[in-house]
Amino acid sequence: MEKNGLLDRRRERKVGLWVFGVSAFFFVSFFLAPLILPTDSVPELGARANAFDYATVDGAFSSGNTPASLTHVHEDGTIHVHEPFAWTELDPYTGFIYMFGDLNCHNKHERSLEINGNQMPVCTRDLGIFFGLAIGGLVFSRYGYNRWTIKDSCLSLLPDRWLEEIYRSNRRTLAWIGMGAVLCIPLLIDGFTQLLTGYESNNITRPLTGAPFGIGIAILTAAAYSARPHFFENASMVKLPANAQFELQKKEEE
By the 8 A CB rule, do 111 and 195 touch? no
**120 exposed, middle or buried (CB, 10 Å; 0-12, 13-18, 19+)?**
buried
3-state percent breakdown (helix, strand, coil) of the chain, nearest 5: 60, 5, 35
Sign of CA dihedral 107, 113, 117, 121: negative
By the 8 A CB rule, do 238 and 246 touch? yes
Q: Is 240 helix (H, G, I), strand (E, B) or coil?
A: coil
CA trace torsion 247, 178, 148, 8 (10° rounding): -130
The Cβ of residue 143 has, within 10 Å, a number of other Cβ atoms equal to 14
What is the rounded CA–CA span in Å between residue 143 and residue 135? 12
Instruction: For the chain, 254 residues long, give each residue's pLDDT as a single digit of tens.
Output: 899 999 999 999 999 999 999 999 999 999 999 999 999 999 999 888 899 999 999 988 999 998 888 887 766 777 878 889 999 999 999 999 999 999 999 999 999 999 999 999 999 999 999 999 999 999 999 999 999 999 999 999 999 999 999 999 999 999 999 999 999 999 999 988 887 888 888 999 999 999 999 999 999 999 999 999 999 999 999 999 999 988 654 444 44
Bridge-based pairing of strands 114-115 and 71-73 is unpaired
pTM above 0.85, yes or no: yes
By the 8 A CB rule, do 134 and 20 touch? yes
Provide the β-strand partners of residue 26. none
Q: Is 115 helix (H, G, I), strand (E, B) or coil?
A: strand
By the 8 A CB rule, do 74 and 88 touch? no
pLDDT at 249: 47
Q: How far apart are the first and last CA of the chain?
A: 28
By the 8 A CB rule, do 182 and 47 touch? no
What amino acid is encoded at 23 in this protein? Answer: S
Q: Determine phi and psi for 225, rounding to 5 degrees.
A: -90, -10
